[in-house]
């Protein structure tokens, strides 16, 4: 079993290298440990290694870990959110990375007891299999969100297409960065949109080069116990 602390050091070094290359500060990149494929024990090891941000993509596993883990942690919900599950999880998380439709915003408004930090998920590549708002719909979508007082749009999120072609991946991240700047420059009070959630185990270095402020790393950091066993 590889130690999380070793993985983390390697990832931090790689992030530092690419960040320096493009004139960014490492402090501006937060690592979310995606623990969806691992046990609660392994998530605790991640926190012991110094990580503080945890990402989950299913209500059941989020709630289970949330109930067991007593260490300080920031909780990110990174998977697509079914409307009927909002009630169970919305007050248990710090960030939602998958706001992609008005019906979801409505349900959050109804169920949230605090302002929820949300990333609008964007389907940059337009693949039919992917969740997310299409790029040309992002601005009108965000403008509609002004009516929901419990939603703050802190940034944009995307998943790159599953391809070996790094230039395709880079284009997707660059397009998301341009969209984020456009929203940010519009100066919406409900949508400061300073952040960019992009980059996973296979593409986080490209994402950091292109401006990611949150990378979501599972396999390369905490492993994948479901696959290993
Ligand atoms: C699983 C998942 C990740 C992490 O994927 P790895 O390839 O294991 O790093 C990141 N983001 C989302 C939305 C995920 O579902």
pLDDT, residue 1, reads 53
- Ligand 1 neighbour 33 (Cβ under 6 A): no
Task: Give the pLDDT confidence of 96-155 residue by residue, as tens digits.
Answer: 999 999 999 999 999 999 999 999 999 999 888 889 999 999 999 999 999 999 999 999
| Average pLDDT for 172-187 | 98
Residue 133 lies in a domain: yes
SS (H, E, C) 97-154: EEECCHHHHHHHHHHCCCCEEEEEEECCCCCCCCCCECHHHHHHHHHHHHHCCCEEEE
Domain assignment present for residue 229? The answer is no
Residue nearest to atom 7 of ligand 1 (CA): 201
* Structural domain boundaries enclosing 72: 2-19+29-223
For range 63-87, the mean pLDDT: 96
CB 10 within 8 A of CB 221: no
Instruction: State both tokens at 53.
Output: 């941000």
Number of structural domains (the chain) is 1
CATH code of the domain covering residue 146:
3.20.20.10
Asked whether 218 lines ligand 1 (CB < 6 A), one says yes
98 pocket-lining for ligand 1 (C-beta < 6 Å): no
198 contacts: CB under 8 Å, gap ≥ 6? 157, 158, 159, 160, 173, 176, 207, 210, 212, 214, 215
pLDDT interval class at 227 (50, 70, 90): low
Question: Is the full-model pTM beyond 0.95?
Answer: yes
Distance 71 CA to ligand 1 centre (A): 23
8 Å CB contact between 46 and 71:
no
Give the residue, by CA position, lying nearest to ligand 1 atom 6: 218
């Amino acid at each position: 079993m590889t130690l999380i602390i070793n993985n983390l050091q390697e990832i931090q070094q790689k992030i530092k290298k690419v960040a320096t290359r493009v004139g960014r500060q490492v402090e501006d990149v937060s690592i979310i440990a995606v623990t969806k494929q691992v046990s609660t024990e392994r998530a605790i090891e991640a926190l012991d290694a110094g990580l503080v941000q945890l990402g989950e993509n299913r209500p059941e596993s989020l709630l289970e870990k949330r109930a067991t883990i007593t260490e300080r942690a920031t909780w990110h919900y990174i998977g697509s959110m079914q409307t009927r599950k909002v009630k169970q999880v919305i007050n248990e998380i710090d960030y939602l990375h998958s706001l992609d439709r008005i019906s979801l915003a409505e349900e959050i408004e109804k169920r949230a007891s605090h302002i929820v930090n949300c990333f609008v998920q964007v389907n940059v590549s337009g693949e039919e299999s992917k969740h997310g708002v299409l790029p040309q719909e992002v601005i009108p979508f965000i403008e509609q969100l002004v009516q929901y007082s419990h939603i703050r749009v802190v940034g944009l999120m995307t998943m790159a297409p599953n391809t070996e072609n790094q230039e395709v991946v880079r284009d997707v991240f660059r397009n998301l960065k341009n969209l984020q700047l456009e929203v940010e420059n519009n100066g919406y009070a409900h949508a400061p949109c300073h952040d960019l959630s992009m980059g996973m185990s296979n593409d986080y270095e490209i994402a950091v080069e292109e401006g990611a402020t949150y990378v979501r790393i599972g396999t390369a950091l905490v492993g994948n116990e479901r696959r290993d066993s």
